[in-house]
Structures are given as C-alpha cells and as structure tokens.
Structure 1
Amino acid sequence: MNAGNQLDEYQSTVRALSDRIVEAQSPLRVLDAVKWDDSIRKGFFAAAGRELPAVNRAWYERRPLAFDAGAKKEELQAIERDITRQLGQFNPVGQIMRRMCKEYRMVVRMLEARGTADFGLISQELYGAASDAFHAGDPTLADLGLMLSDYLNNIADRSDLKDEAKTLDARQAVEILQQQLDTVFGEGEGVIRVFESDGILADAAAGADYIKIRSDALFNQRDVRALAVHEGLVHVGTTLNGQNQPICTFLAKGPPSSTVTQEGLAILMEVIAFASYPTRLRKLTNRTRAIHMAEEGADFLDVFAFFREQGYDQDECYSNASRVFRGSTPDGMPFTKDLSYLKGFIMVYNYIQLAVRKGKLEQIPLLFCGKTTLEDMRTLRQLVDEGMVVPPKYLPQQFQDLNALSAWMCFSNFLNHLSLERIEADYANII
C-alpha cells in the first residue's frame, strides 16, 4: 500500500467493488430465512410426534424474504459485470469477487425455492451432499459419518469418558466465556461481547463481534472451552480479521464456499486445542448421517426416530431433525449446511498437510485472514505479497507456532502411508 495508507487508483477500484459486495449480501440471512418458528414445534408435539410438522411451500410464502429476490439478483449481476469491466476477465482478486457474486445469486435462488425440491438441490450445489467423495475412489461423507460412529461406539460405555454434568447456566457460561475471550482479544476493549439470547436454535451462535448464548441452555466447563475455540477464536476472529482488511473488505463476509472452510477450521482448532470430546464429535457425525438419510428418502419422522435411537431427549430430537429439514419440507430434500463441519475438517486438514509437505508454511496462517475459501488460498498469498490483503491480526496460538504444527503434520504425513489394517493384525497380541 502507498505511503500514508492512501489507496492508489487500482486499490480504490477494488475497495469500491468489494464494498458493493458487502452491502449487497447484507440482507441474505440464510438461517433466519429457513428456520421454523416455535408454533411448528408446538404443533408437532401436540400431535404426539406422530404427524409431520405442518410446513409446506405456502408456509414459507407467508413468511416473505427480507429483500426483493429479483432486484437482489440483478444487483449482484451488475456488480459482477462491473468487476469484469473495471478489473478485466483474469484479474485474480476480480475472479474471487465474481465467484462470490455468483454464489450469493445462488443463495437468493435457494431462498426463493424454500419449500420446493429445488431448495435441496441448490443446497447441495452450495454446501455439498453426503454422497460426495473427497477424491475419486475415496470414502464419501456418509461413509465418514458411519466410520466415526463405529469408533465412538467402541468407547461409548467407558465410565472414564462420561461427560461432566452440565451445571453452568447461560449467565455463568457468558461470564466464563467472556473472561476467556478477553485474554485473547483484549480486556476492556469491547472487541467481543458475549450475551444471552432467546432467539437461537443452537446452544450458541457467533456474529461479527459477539457470541450469543441460548438463555435456557446448560453447559459444563468443556462445553465453554469448545465455544471459546470454535465460535471465538475462529468465527469471530476471522470476521474481525476480515473487517481489518483495508482493501479486500469482502473477506469479512462469507459465502457458502467459505462456510465449509470456516467450519472445518473451527473443528480442527477444537481438536488441536484439546477442546473437543466424543459427545461433541458424535453430534457432528449424527448430523451427517441424518442428512444422508434425508437424501435417501427419509422424512422428518424417520430422522426424529434416528435421534431417539441415539439417546437424545424429545426436544433435542426435534431440534436436530428440524436442522435437517429447515428451508425444505418435512418429507423433502435436506438443507445440507451441517455437512460443512466434517467436510471442512477433512479438506482443511489435508490442505495444511500438503502445505507442510511442499514447504509452504507461510500460507497456513492466511486461513485466518478473513472468511477464506480453500480454492482462493494461492491467490490470497499473492494478494498479501502485493499489499492488497493484510495478514491476520488475531491468530490462535496453535497457528502462530508453525514449528509445532509442522512437526505434527510431518509425522501425520508419514503415518498416512501406513496400513492400519496390517498394524492392527501385528498388534493383535499386545492390545
């Protein structure tokens, strides 16, 4: 960047186009647009859980989107056209921004299609399907979910792995989480606010500079630690790093392709920070399995019964099953966003392994410079070198210490070449 932090003409052009994308996507609040209200839950239980929830195309039509879908698609198309006109067809940052415009237009199409078969099909285009393979001939996400479930079942009955009691209410969780995040992001600066909320489906949800805790949820210390890592260090941290970008402001906002990368990064952080645990992992595998069931034709009642078989109470079963069908109908195709966790974990882990193998360690921290997408990482490295993107201000300690991370990945690269089946046979007499 120029002396005195003044942008030159090219940088100003990119900044202006980037700001237009940020402004255009602001009303595209996917989760708000697809969620079911509490009347659906009450109706389901009033029917003793024997009838499908009363959600159809007409139900969504009575809940209009917070924007004009046609006008929004035209706005995004115009931005994409101006990107090409002003930056050229092959400009690297222009290619990223054009892809974002295309994705956001697809998001609009998906939300227009709420309650129809197209909703699920577009969701699969944006977030993937459980039947997707990572590489030709490799296991699918559905296979991964089943495999992890088998591993978890092998340790399920161990008394030394039982979860500690959830004795912390929302107020206590807010206080503890706020203290933990203040040590990372700065105390008294008000960088991240943690507060209670009534209007969320999950136990917690992150915004640009805040984390909401569901007011009726209960937690234990391990839960709070996982939230600090997942929601705080990754989701809020990458948002703040994106907001710190002087030119590529679009990095503060994430299209669906970045959701996969960000959720994968968050799960990886949980693992390497020793903040994850079997119950947490089972929740993610069950979501993957439930989405696969719906893709194969299971309806809401089938998925609800699946979660009952996994030992969840009725309210948890309803909450989990509604995550699968929100935006769709109770007998339609699933909303596949929850595949992002395991899919993203595998993709980010493989990326870091390859970065170590190829000696490109400097690219690893750039995962945190905003709402990044894996396919853009080489371009982002180029943009950092050009001064168009600044490195992340907030970076988890595990990613600051590339010595330790690269040592672990070097061993991991080698271990990947060993046959676990052969090892299991050789170790049969000692384990």
Structure 2
Amino acid sequence: MNSLNELDDYQLTVRGLSDRIVEAQTPIRVLDAVKWDDNVRADFLKHKGKKLPAVDRDYYAGRPLAYDPAAKKLEFQNIERDITRQLGQFNPVGQIMRRMCREYRMVIRMLEARGTEDFGLISQDLYGAASDAFHAGDPTLSDLGLMFSDFLNNIDDRGDLKDEPKNLTAKQAVDLLQHRLNKVFGEAEETIRVFESDGILADAAAGADYIKIRADAMFNERDVKALEVHEGLVHVATTLNGQNQPICTFLAKGPPSSTVTQEGLAILMEVIAFASYPTRLRKLTNRTRAIHMAEEGADFLQVCDFYRQQGFSLEDSYSNASRAFRGSSPTGLPFTKDLSYLKGFIMVYNYIQLAVRKGKLEQIPLLFCGKTTLEDMRTLRQLVDEGLVVAPKYLPPQFSDLNSLSAWMCFSNFLNHLSLDRIEADYANIL
C-alpha cells in the first residue's frame, strides 16, 4: 500500500476528502438505530402475539441517536461542498464521493423520522420498494418473490429435499467457520475474528474484521458453507479490499446504494458456490413478500401471521416480521433494506452477463475492490487505470479465474432468448 508521502498533490487531496467521509460516517449505525429492544419481543410473546408491539415515534425518541443529526448532516454538506471546490463539478471520483455524502444525509433524515410515515418513504428512496420493476414491462420484486415461492412450493411437495438437522451449536459453527476463513485469507487470518453474540437479529452478521454468530442459533454444515461465502468471501473480503485502498479509502465503507450490490454479490456467490439451498431461498423470498405486504397496508400482526401459516413458531415469526417493521411502526410502511438480496442478485447477475457479452471481463473482479455500487463500475475501471484505486487483493476463486464463470454466462445469455413456456409445452411428454 502506498504511504501518504508517496502520493502526489491530487492523490493527497482525494485521500483527504475520502478520509473525511469515512470519519463522518463512523457513528451512523443504521441497524442499531432501528432495531427493537428485547422488552418489545418479551411483551409481544407475553400477549401470545395478539397485541401490536408498542412501538411509535415516542419509543424511538427514548432511544436517541449517538450523534447530533443536524450537525452530522451539516458535516456531510461541508464535505460535499469541499469536494466540488477542490476537485471540480465533473471529476469522476468527486462525483462518487458527493453522491455518498448525499446518501448519508438521506440516511440521517430517515433515522430522524423513525416511527413516522416518512421513515418508510425515505427507506424506499434508499433501498427501493417491492413494487419496483427492473425494466419497463418486466416483473417487479414482489412478482419475483411470488414466482420463487411457487417454485419452492413445487420442490417442497417432493418431501425428499428436507434440510439436514441443525446439529451444530453456535460455538461449533464459530470454530468451523473460523477454520475455513483462516484458509481463505491466509496472512489476514489474525484480523478476521468469528465469535458468538447475543445482540443480533439474524443468525450472523459481518463487521469490518469480524463475523458475529447469534449465540442461541443452531446450524448445520450447509449453513456454515453459506456463511463462509456470503459473510466471509463477500462482506469481509470487500471490507478488507476497501481498507487496502491507499487513496479512495471510502471504498471500505458502504452507503445504502452499495448494500444492494453487496447483498446481490453475496447471494450470487452462494449460488455459484453451490452453497444456497431451498430453505435459504425461501427465507429471502419471504422477506420480500413481507415487505410487499406491509407496503400494501398489512400491519405487524398480519405479517407475523404470514410466517405462522408457514409453520414458524411465534417467536421466530416475531423475529422475521420485525425485520420488515424495524425503524417504522407496527402499522407503518416497512424498512425495505431486505429487498437488497433479491434485487441485488438480479442486478449483479445482469451486470456480469453484459460484461461477458461485451467482452469486458476485466470489469467483473472490480466488484470486490471495496463497497462498490454498480453505477460506479465504469468510473472504478477508470480510477484503476489512473492509479487512484487498486485491484482487489482478496477474490473468491470463482472471480479470480473467470473461465468457468464466463462459460456459464455465455450459455446463460443464449438460454435467456428461449421461451420457457414454449419449452414446457414441448417437453410435456418427457417430463
């Protein structure tokens, strides 16, 4: 990595502005700010799921943000102003950094609006809505969720694709995952820690140099493999690659627009590493459907009942439903971050398909050079050529050797032109 005394004046200017963004965003912790306390869960279970959680604007007012929102918004405004003053209006890296400043200001506005209708509206601006289409005339995210559910129902009817029993405790999963990550990251193994945690809603969550495993969760080996590729090979790897950036240090941190790319890349990795499975896909489609229900007016109890009807316990149904309503109210518009998984998967998959079709394979590994956003990929290629961005150090094998991925995408490009409805009719007598 270049030391600061090896950078020229322009590079030092970019580095200085980039560092200011990284520092300014440090106290902004979206998931911490929107999650519900354990006493909300306890009260819901005490009333056997018959009473809406007592969460409103006053509830969030009792959990103030760890910074002054007005001062923080002004800080990002000043950084954005200085980017324009020092780099100019049309400087490519300056345009990326200015957009990041605007996004962070919008994130703060969203968090200020916790418990109100504006929270859900701003969430849709940042992460999208379930009713969004990918292109004119294409299915929406909610359509995709329903379609996947139909496919999964057909698979469920077989009865022979049941999940392996979850026979690994959190501690055993931690040990196994730590062992696998040590083999992947080699010299960085001492910086990547896997440990148990009581304070997370999901089964696992990745930080800058760690992966937390929920202490009361149970796992099987398939789960650990999914965590290895999703949390380790994508989330941790892109963080480390971002931290290796000598100039564009902002790539180590991601605003909401990078969340869509990050989660999409993680789901794609699960698929191409054969680490995904029907129950995992069902979890993602359920999240999309829950958000769509809330967007259409369903309240917390109705979304919770949606999970109960699938056989989830009351406690698990609460946990799943609360993902959709955290930051909002039990009757308000949802927090739409969980759309990032399927939305991002489709967008990243299409991007890689087009890169193969156009012969721009060198673009694909750049998805891992930090917390990237698809709309910045052409600019990032330019920044690599200029020496402002370094290529990713840690890459999954599927992306460090693009032979197999390219072959798959070539077939996929052709298969996309075939009519599956026509094929189904033609194959009716043999399937």
Class of the TM-score when normalised by the shorter of the 2 chains: over 0.9
Match of 2:363 in 1: 363
2:333 equivalent to 1:333: yes
Q: Does structure 1 retain, via aligned residues, the 8 Å contact 2:328–2:335? A: yes
The range that moved more, 374-383 or 48-57, is 48-57
Contact 1:206 1:212 in 2 (8 A): yes
Q: 1:46 Cα deviation (Å)? A: 1.3
Q: Which amino acid aligns with 1:26?
A: T
Counterpart for residue 116 of structure 1:
116
Residue 17 in 1 paired to residue 39 in 2?
A: no
- 1:85-111 C-alpha deviation (Å, 9 max, x unpaired): 000000000000000000000000000
**Alpha-carbon contact 2:52-2:330 (below 8 Å) kept:** yes
Amino acid corresponding to residue 218 of structure 1 in structure 2: M
Q: Is the 8 A contact 2:248 2:388 kept in 1?
A: yes
Distance (Å, rounded) in 2 between the aligned partners of 1:343 and 1:256: 13
Identity %: 82
2:334 corresponds to which letter in structure 1? P
Are positions 1:205 and 2:205 aligned together? Answer: yes
186-195 vs 281-290, which moves further: 186-195
Indicate yes or no: 2:94 matched with 1:71.
no
For structure 2, the 5+ residue unaligned runs are none
CA contact (8 A) 1:185 1:191 kept: no
Cα deviation 1:43-84 (Å, max 9, x = unaligned): 111112111001010000011000100000000000000000
Indicate the SS of the match to 2:49: coil
Instruction: Report the counterpart of residue 283 of structure 1 in structure 2.
Output: 283
**Would the aligned equivalents of 2:4 and 2:12 in 1 still touch at CA under 8 Å?**
no
* Runs of 4+ that moved beyond 6 A: 1-5
Match of 1:137 in 2: 137
**Per-residue displacement from partner, 1:338-397 (whole Å, max 9, x unpaired)?**
000000000000000000000000000000000000000000000001110000000000
**C-alpha separation in 1, matches of 2:152 and 2:262:** 25
Partner of 1:171: 171
Residues 185-194 or 152-161, more deviating: 185-194
Question: Could you tell me which residue of structure 2 aligns to residue 33 of structure 1?
Answer: 33
Give the aligned partner of residue 153 of structure 2.
153
Q: Deviations over 1:132-169 (max 9, x none)?
A: 00001100000000000000000103233110000000
SS of corresponding position for 2:156? coil
Alpha-carbon separation, structure 2, partners of 1:322 and 1:211: 22
Tell me which amino acid in the other structure corresponds to 1:80: E
Please name the residue that 2:382 is paired with. Answer: 382
Residue by residue, what CA displacement relative to the aligned partner does 1:283-330 show, whole Å, maximum 9, x if unpaired? 000000000000000000000000111221111100000000000000
- Could you tell me how far apart the structure 2 residues matched to 1:421 and 1:5 are? 62
Task: State the distance in 1 between where 2:41 and 2:85 align.
Answer: 50
Post-superposition shift, 1:5?
A: 7.1
Could you say which residue in structure 2 is the equivalent of 1:307? 307
Q: Which amino acid is 2:184 matched to? A: V
Name the amino acid aligned to 2:106. Answer: M
> Is the contact between residue 234 and residue 262 of structure 1 (CA under 8 Å) also seen in structure 2?
yes
Q: Is 2:217 the counterpart of 1:217?
A: yes
Distance 1:3 1:50 in 2: 60
Instruction: Tell me, in whole angstroms, the C-alpha distance in 2 between the residues paired with 1:5 and 1:149.
Output: 56
Q: Verify: 1:421 aligned to 2:417, yes or no.
A: no
Distance in 1 between residues matched to 2:168 and 2:281, nearest whole Å: 21
Equivalence for 2:227: 227
Contact 2:299 2:331 in 1 (8 A): yes
Q: 1:91 to 1:48 in 2, by over 3 A?
A: same
The one-letter code of the counterpart of 1:352 is: I
Partner SS, residue 413 of structure 1 = helix
In 2 relative to 1, CA 161–10 (structure 1 residues): closer, same or farther, beyond 3 Å?
A: same
**Structure-2 separation of matches of 1:361 and 1:3:** 30
- Partners of 1:191 and 1:397 in 2: CA distance: 21
CA, structure 1 residues 65+3, in 2 after alignment: closer, same or farther (shift >3 Å)? closer
Task: With the length of structure 1 as denominator, give the TM-score of the two structures.
Answer: 0.99
| Cα separation, 2, equivalents of 1:243 and 1:207 | 13
Measure how far apart 1:191 and its partner are: 2.6
Structure 1 unpaired stretches of 5+:
none
Q: 1:254 is paired with a residue of what secondary structure?
A: coil
> Displacement of 1:3 after TM fit?
10
Query: C-alpha root-mean-square deviation of aligned residues, in Å?
Result: 1.2
- 1:336: how far off? 0.1
State how far apart, in whole Å, the 1-side matches of 2:381 and 2:5 are: 20
- TM-score (ref. length: structure 2): 0.99
